[in-house]
Structure 1
């Protein structure tokens, strides 16, 4: 190989190697709390060489990776004196149910509750802002000139009334603000500038469940043309989603009603083929409808003592009270036959348990109690 060829080959290998080592960032499409992927990166650079945005509750650590903030109510943070992500710079992040009041970041990087009652958001304390003040109250309230949170006079339609309880600053969905008064948009409209000009429609009519779409020519909400259509965002003549008991036609533009009156879902383009039946059977007053796979019709569950078999009449979802669903045998077995002295039972659904899929006793015969450790019946005062 000549010297020039060797140099070109080496450069090519280095270029390939450079690309391979640079493209190290993989963004997590979901928040780490909602997925099995522990990565806290939300967005990578265009060349995938590094992360440029972390998910809320995560921030860049000293090595440039997204690391979880140590405080649960922290939105963004930075490394503290111990090197860990313990110094919070922005609070108010709650993955679970939010508390009655919000939190703010103190100068020492800890999250503390807002001092004002009913305040959901207050300013952080730092060198330029030595005292935290409320900037957002609970819905239906407003921040007053004295810094307190007070209820709006229009409790029905007003979201916030900052500065004056009698004048609304932001209205609820379906209303527009006219000089501090919340007035209704036209029927079916979610966002509007006035009573006649709609900007965004509700997903569907709450009474008929018929989908709604904005007619740009009239600025009004009109229903989808096809009966049973729950969503037609491209226009009233093209259905995207059909309601329960309907399926799309073969051209995908309209909805056809499932032919079986007890069918809640039928195959795409095949209204005669049911895939899911209604849970309640009006004729027998029991949870007994299921799909007959051969005919595509809704029939009674074929397993004795089966309470529900919506997707398959020959496969039980759960059994009547006092019976255990033995899926291997395809039968509903009396609880007392699988667990002595047991009158009510269920199935262990914990996948990491050694007894996963096995029967658990929930109630026992008179004079017997459930032993929580074994999920079996023992004599009162006795042991398993």
Structure 2
């Protein structure tokens, strides 16, 4: 006997409600791991997403839709129409330096280069330039070099952002020097962030040397907040302690027990039993800094065989191979492959089927 329609509807509603309560997954890794989805912030009950990461857009149902912009620069789309993910509304700049111009979403929904030469950021739809490239500014409707060499950015000949150690002076329109030993300041009188190795004096506000040897940053001359990284100091009660072990880079908590070694040639590593810096146990190893018994990087002309725990000559892959490494992609990720051949030879093939062939020249 079939259940009454009203009962079926009630069951369906309960199932939907149960599923809705836990359908949102918050991605805390962002672009580092998009396999977790595009939601940046979920609602309090985890039923919907409230904010998406760039490259995703929030639809009416509270889900993040991944953008798949069309055209040559579609991969640079950061916000799109959630009902039509191929229609791009906003485009990001080039983070990796592959482009020397900005992009915007045009009326056709495609990421397009900013019309004005030298423009790094322009408005959606019409492409009106908003920011020029570094050391340039909008002058007479064009992106031109700033008149002030100290300016990072300018606008109409007026410096708006300056390099470290200087600030934009609104009265002169130029970059003026911060106080001595100051990295960032809003004006000539007070420093906001002191240079490395300096801290603010409580009485004068001037940046003076940190008292503790090896201190990189101090909240006051006598109180260190951060010791010089990877050069043999560790922070202990507001002061930097010097590691006593030769070639030691880090000895957190005990100056006589090294955790990470830092030999100029990378040939020494920490002994987890004795705390000493011992020579790398693996032959032809160029780096074993955190464990002398395990090689992190082999010297040129060798690759690390994880199974055998040893450095193997690249010539075992091909007699003419002079440099090699482990692949970071492909069907056999991590497998060794030749990356460079000797004089008169060149690399050919892909993945693990890489070999040295006679040069055509």
Q: TM-score range by the shorter chain?
A: 0.7 to 0.9
Question: Hey, which of these two has a bigger chunk of strand by percent?
Answer: 2
- Root-mean-square deviation (CA, aligned residues, Å) is 3.7
Q: Conserved in 1, the CA contact under 8 Å of 2:303 and 2:326?
A: no
Structure 1 segments unaligned to the other structure (5+ residues): 1-13, 126-130, 205-209, 282-286
Of residues 188, 191, 196 in structure 2, which corresponds to 1:198?
A: 191
Matched, 1:122 2:125: no
Tell me which residue corresponds to 2:39.
Answer: 41
1:86 to 1:363, Cα distance in 2 relative to 1, 3 A: closer
1:46 to 1:221, Cα distance in 2 relative to 1, 3 A: farther
Q: Conserved in 2, the CA contact under 8 Å of 1:142 and 1:152?
A: yes
Tell me which residue corresponds to 1:9.
Answer: none
Compute the TM-score of the two structures, normalised by the length of structure 2.
0.76
1:194-343 matched pairs, under 5 angstroms = 194-202=187-195, 204=196, 210=197, 212-215=198-201, 217-233=203-219, 236-248=222-234, 252-266=237-251, 268-281=252-265, 287-321=266-300, 325-332=304-311, 338=316, 341=319
Matched, 1:78 2:81: yes
Q: Shift in Å at residue 370 of structure 1?
A: 6.8
Secondary structure, aligned partner of 1:35: helix
Secondary structure, aligned partner of 1:273: coil
Tell me which residue corresponds to 2:5.
Answer: none
Q: Shift in Å at residue 361 of structure 1?
A: 5.0
Of residues 180, 184, 202 in structure 1, which corresponds to 2:177?
A: 184
Whole-Å separation in 2 of the counterparts to 1:365 and 1:103 = 42
Q: Conserved in 1, the CA contact under 8 Å of 2:181 and 2:194?
A: yes
Tell me which residue corresponds to 2:349.
Answer: 372
Q: Shift in Å at residue 376 of structure 1?
A: 7.2
Matched, 1:149 2:143: yes
Whole-Å separation in 2 of the counterparts to 1:193 and 1:379 = 60
Using the TM superposition, name which of 87-96 and 56-65 deviates more. 87-96
1:76 to 1:275, Cα distance in 2 relative to 1, 3 A: same
Tell me which residue corresponds to 1:10.
Answer: none
Structure 2 segments unaligned to the other structure (5+ residues): 1-12, 70-74
* Deviations, residues 44-103 of structure 1 (Å, cap 9, x unaligned): 234433222211222113533111222223232214xxx431222223344543622212
Tell me which residue corresponds to 1:128.
Answer: none
Using the TM superposition, name which of 359-368 and 185-194 deviates more. 359-368
Using the TM superposition, name which of 232-241 and 366-375 deviates more. 366-375
Which protein has the larger Cα radius of gyration, Structure 1 or Structure 2? 1
Q: Conserved in 1, the CA contact under 8 Å of 2:301 and 2:324?
A: no
Whole-Å separation in 1 of the counterparts to 2:241 and 2:217 = 14
Whole-Å separation in 2 of the counterparts to 1:364 and 1:55 = 43
Whole-Å separation in 2 of the counterparts to 1:305 and 1:171 = 47
Using the TM superposition, name which of 364-373 and 136-145 deviates more. 364-373
Compute the TM-score of the two structures, normalised by the length of structure 1.
0.72
